[in-house]
Structure 1
Amino acid sequence: MSNPSSSALLIATTAAAALTTVATFSLLQHYVIPNPKPSVPSDHQIVRKDGREVQSLDLATTVSEYRRKIEVLLYMQEAVVNVMDFNHVLSIIVDIAYSIVPASRISVMVLSDDRKSMTVFVSKDAEAMSINATSGIAGYVAATATKVNIADAYNDPRFDKTIDETLGFKTDSLVCVPIHAGGSVVGVIQACNRTDNNAFGEEDERGLEALSLSAGSAIRKAQLYASAIRSNRKSAAILSVVRCRTSGASVPDLINVVTKSTYSLLLAERVSVYLVDRIKGEIWICVSKDPSIAGLTLPIGRGISGQVALNGETINLKDCYTSDKFDSSCDKKTGFTTRSMLCMAVPGFDDESKPVAVIQAINKIGSKSFDDEDEEALSAFCNEVKMAMRGNFLEAALLKLESDARRQCDIDSSSYLREFGSMFGRESSRSNYSEEPLSPSHLNPDRRRSSLNKQSIQWGRTSSNIDAKKEFDDFGFDIFSKSEEELVDIVFAFFEEFNLCDRLKVDAEHLQNLILAIHDTYNNVPFHNFYHAFSVCHVSYLLMRHCDMAQCLSSVDIFSCLIAALAHDCDHPGVSNGYLIETEDVLATAHNDDAVLERHHASTAAKLMTYPENDVFAEFSKQQKKQCRKVILDAILGTDMSRHMEHVTSLHERADEGHHAFFDRNSHTDRAELVKHIIHCADLAAQTLPEKISEEFELRVMKEFTSQALKEIEADCEQTSFMKGLEDEKKRCELQLNFVSAIVLPLWGGLAKLFPKCDERVERANEIRLNYEQLVKQYASTSTSTNER
């Protein structure tokens, strides 16, 4: 594939060569030396020798002047052949014009692509200004493609005095000719005030007309080249972000790439990338070469970047010091001069008016301001950044927590990110589980749960009346009001509701044995116990039964989903992957420090399914058994929080591409993906449930975090920062607020896009988020009042 800029250069050069030939003939035509009238001797008149000498001298001067002008024009053609920079080309044209026409001021004005404005390059400098394409003599010439020569500009109604007022110049006379290229007018050349104070004559008109032909080809070539270069910069910038997105780069790495790419995309002197923290109502700088700026925060709504973060509106200031939006106090402090600014939002994932980031570019190099093409290029770039940020939104939220903590000096860095699975610096665990059953002997004996007696469970009592409204058939079902024996029976009822034993010829007794065996692996820990396992299985059941997901799955998939949901945390020790790795636990060693718990859960479940009394696959075909087993184990591995953003990105991308609920039932890949999404969403469903249930789960998880914090102290290992100090109510609220905002809502929001019946769950999570926001604000207000006292 050829380089875009090279192709543009070839096209532009070819076109310029053709027009140059035409222009050369035109020059000769315009400057052909008029034949001197022959002297007709009269009998009554004798031409004196001195008179003939004077006439010869005048003729020689005229020929010399014409020759000089033609040489100047030909020189211009040679000079611009290899010049591609637009400003340089215009500068050459202006310089040549001064050599042809004796004027006090010469301007080249170039029409914009939409032909609504003209850029004015005045005199011998390349400082551009923009004017309306329909105003003044220049606008008239551009619109009519006819030259204008007036001796008294201020008496011509077409003349626009505002340009004189802007430049501090008084135009007396002027001549203006159109610049043609490609069959249309691309601009005008205008000369003002002959230096000898006379009006411009036909000779001046011919000179500018001849120049305009060469100028047109040169301008068009420079425009083509500039367009190709811009397109190339835009493609390179977008490609760099795509590479970050697909490589799983960390947020700091992504922001570095975005910053560098914006510099090259817009040719700006300075670039800042702000991330938006809507929870605290501020924007902040995640990465900066200046350590004193990194972590800097500004309130949303304050300053230009804050205004853009508020509503997503693009702000493009052509001259900052003439805008009431611009605050020059920062310039005064730093000594830097901000001339122009382009500030644009990276659109929000679900609501574009709520940006996730803001990109600010200052001072366009080689131009007075950023133009419409810059806005268009940055807009396309921001949309790609949005896609990359969606995959790193969780990490960005956690980085903000740590940044705030560093400023408060009460939390050490990196542990929150490490615990909740940044993709940075970690190998994926996808579909790579251990087959070797591991002994739970490393667990404390008092944490093991005693087995339920199968005979104590009244199997089938819950589903005895299939037509009756089941208590459990609702998201509001209070699982904490039931005993574990009752919950085990309800799990069996989930299978019965889908008539899976009959459809798949599953031995009901073997299924009951497997359910009990899975139950018995759960330990007596505060959160990751059988109540949590039941809740995940219950929500999975409800999503399939009442949110249109079952219709996208086969009976084998539904069966696999319920087993995987129940077993997804089996034999959980009540501590995190990080703790097991830090303490060099036997599980961490066995699984190479990678997705330790998820691999352990998968291998434990796999082992349970091999026992003859638990064999639920007896009547399955070999292919069905293989498929079911793989779906179960992959779904359990998919609950690893390091893969959380894979779920979020996949759900949102599928929705954005228009595949609303179209998980292809005929595609095994689509069905397996949906099962993984269901279980992961159910695993993070506590904040989507009624208040009484969600609060109970919150208390339990906080208790487990506090328990781990004490264990870390006892083991003298690095403490997980967000698990410390949870006796502080304000910190607990902030932790929950960020968890709901950065983790739960993006995930469930994506699911609801595909399955709208999940909207109620998202609304419930939003209610919880708003409650936590109010509590955090109250604590902040109380803290401020206390400090003031």
Structure 2
Amino acid sequence: MSKQEPDPDLFISPNYCKKLGNEVLEDTKIEQEVSIAKIELSNPAKILQLVESLTDKSTRKLEVKLNRYLKTECESKATFLISLHSIAEEAVVQVFHERILLDPLRVTLSDETLNALVNFQINHLTGSEQLDPKIQGLIKDVVPQGTGEVIVVPVLRQECKEKEVSYPVYLVCIVNPVRDSLYISKIVSETFNYCLTLFLNTRQSEDERRLKAECQSLLLVARKLFSHLGDLSDLLKEIMSEARRLTNAERCSLFLLDPDHLHLVAKVFDGVSPSERSTEVRIAADQGIAGHVAATGQILNIKDAYKHPLFYKGMDEATGFKTRNILCFPIRDEDNIVGVAQLCNKINGHFDYFDEQVANAFSIYCGISIMHSLVYKKIQDAQARSRLSNELMLYHMQVSRQDVLDVTMCPSQHEMPHFSKFSFTPRNILLKESPCFVLKMMQDLGFIDTFRIKQDILVRFILYVRKGYRDVPYHNWSHAFSVAHFAYLALKNFELVEKGYFTQLEALAYFISCLCHDIDHRGTTNSFQQQSNSVLASLYSSEGSVMERHHLSQTICTLNTEGCNFLESLSKDDYVKCLDLIKDMILATDLASHYKIHSRQLTLAQEGYDKTQPEHRYYLASLLMTCADLSDQTKDWAETKKVAQLIYAEFFAQGDLEKKMGKTPANMMDREKASIPDHQLEFLTQCCICIFRILATIFPHAKVLVDAIKQNILCWESSKRIFEKFKLEGKTSYEVLVSEELEFEVRSTLDNLN
């Protein structure tokens, strides 16, 4: 049943409100004319009927009804409201006449724009051309081109009656009206006298419902975050994924504070974790937008990034990404700021007041989850280290006092011809005599006298290191002894200490690092450790160089074993420096680390070594470690072939394990697919000879090493024909490698060529 129009007689003043007498009527003639004008202007019954219908809890539905009413009263083509939010500093259109917009139109407003609207009185009309350009642009986006005139009436709300402070809350836009401006102004004024409070309360209720929904979302996010505590990298990616989703941002970055170096390190940059990008992103803790937030602890909501003095547009120029706006907020633990989160480009608008509130609440969850993840990681590390220590203790026997005496009191002089020449093959030394030779080399290099090292403690350390190596085909004690022997040769032949390339302390660290660089090697690569989710991977995968960090850890563990700390005579500063040097040198044996600095080492060799530059000393030490680790390739063909047998025995054992795990091994790890001469030639030509050429550029005496590699390249080249011949007979690549015929055939081929 449709509603009937109210009876106009209901709004006629009753008799007791009328004034009698001609004199009174004459005196109030003007007032009566004004009253008649008001009656003609509007029908109170219609306004009450409008107010009666405004029962919706949605401002969109309320605006539909209000627009319909104003269109009728103003006889216009269409009407709409621009909602002004002073806290969020934005203008929003969510309904055009009776059509609710799926994506509300928004523009950012400044305080000056909002304050300027206060100058327009509630009964004063203005065309859109008199308004701020951003509001004009918004109106043009809403109103179809060619519609006609748009009359805008600001609606103000009085903040404080005593001080008469007002601020704008709506702009009422009347499109192409028939009625005159004065009429429209009074209609809007009278309508909002009744409706404004209801509209504002509904708007506030919607804002509170939005905050409530976002808080509920945060609780769900918190539950998701705590399910990732076991992996900090996954946790940080999840944090930024949820932050981006909650605020509807295009990109995200999360920086954690490195307090030791006063830098912010990007753990997730533009949504990408360090493992997925080639370089680490670091910024000073007091620079840029993120640095400012880290230093002040205050959230930054930047609506125009390119106009902000702290914004660095170089990153946009490098990546091609266009940053429009930024929301950057701090992440705290219980006491301090631990990081900064940065969100870029709010989709379809800018970050508003509610996004700031979400960010502030979200940062609390971030800080708590990160703190617990770090604690959880420490507990996991402690448990893994405990398991490793138990495993190591079960695997290795103790060094007896008699073992130490056998070395320290050994009557043999251990003289070997050409022991100090690069052509000498250290693998020819009997393993039982190798500890004596290690002691002999350290004596010859002057370490024992210079650092007042007690021989019994040093020998016990050497014996523990030997027991620390497992009986794997290649990465065993024999390999460690060969690498240490190259360190001895380099120190002797290049006169590293005498010519100032190394200090005596650096030389000691170099020799010890070579001796210990592969302790407890499992015969498998770093990638295998990570793929198999080993205990070592759980400890070190986040830092990279899994095996190398384990070798370093076992070196320190051995040094700290009772009766093994032969460095105890060093001063505190020298002791700390020596351990730092050992750390850098052992980690340098990861070829992945070498490739990162290879170009710098090449530049160093070409431009000249500067002994006063710490970076040059580090690059040289890393180069010498890599050369020592690969020194087997500088021996003669017969020795190189034997070493290849050991290497591929280890490779194929790993390949077999990978197949059992359901993975496909690399060709050089697959005994069925490997082409050993091709793999060896690739390794020698693309890796080894490049490294030793750099060494020979710095030290001309190293040219003999380059020549030896060239000779081995010729041997492997000539072996390809032999491998192909035996392959036709059904033999695998490894069977050919270990056959006696191979060496003979290669020698014969080379003799014929010569």
Q: Shorter chain as normaliser: what TM range?
A: 0.3 to 0.5
Structure (1 or 2) with the larger CA radius of gyration: 2
TM-score normalized with structure 1 length: 0.41
